[in-house]
């Protein structure tokens, strides 16, 4: 299993959050290999939103970034997107 922290910067956190939460719920329920996904907000850094996800493997995570669920939500998420950085950690 891996834990993935996706560290996003967005232009409007309040507008982004409902879309991000819907995407996370859809991914956790329907994305093959996705065990869970949460959306977190950093109150000390303006525009910082984190996704904390558990996937069966790094391959499952990478596959999800090219999958139908991600692409379904991309137009709405993309309206607010500035940048992102992924960090993948193995659970031992």
32-61 mean pLDDT: 98
Q: What is the CATH number of the domain that holds 79?
A: 3.30.70.100
Return the number of other C-beta atoms located less than 10 Å from residue 47's C-beta. Answer: 16
- Angle in degrees, CA 63, 67, 72, rounded to 5: 150
What is residue 52's predicted lDDT score, i.e. its pLDDT? 98
Name the domain count of the chain: 1
**Residue 14: which domain range?**
2-90
| Rounded percentage of the chain residues whose pLDDT exceeds 90 | 100
Mean pLDDT of 14-23: 98
């Amino acid at each position: 299993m891996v834990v993935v922290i996706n560290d996003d910067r967005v232009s409007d956190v309040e507008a982004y959050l409902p879309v991000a939460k819907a995407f996370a719920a859809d991914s956790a329920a329907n994305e093959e290999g996705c065990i869970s996904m949460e959306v977190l907000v950093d109150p000390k850094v303006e525009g910082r939103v984190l996704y904390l996800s558990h996937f069966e493997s790094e391959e499952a995570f990478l596959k999800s970034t090219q999958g139908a669920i991600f692409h379904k939500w991309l137009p709405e998420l993309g309206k607010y997107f500035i940048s992102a950085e992924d960090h993948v950690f193995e659970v031992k």
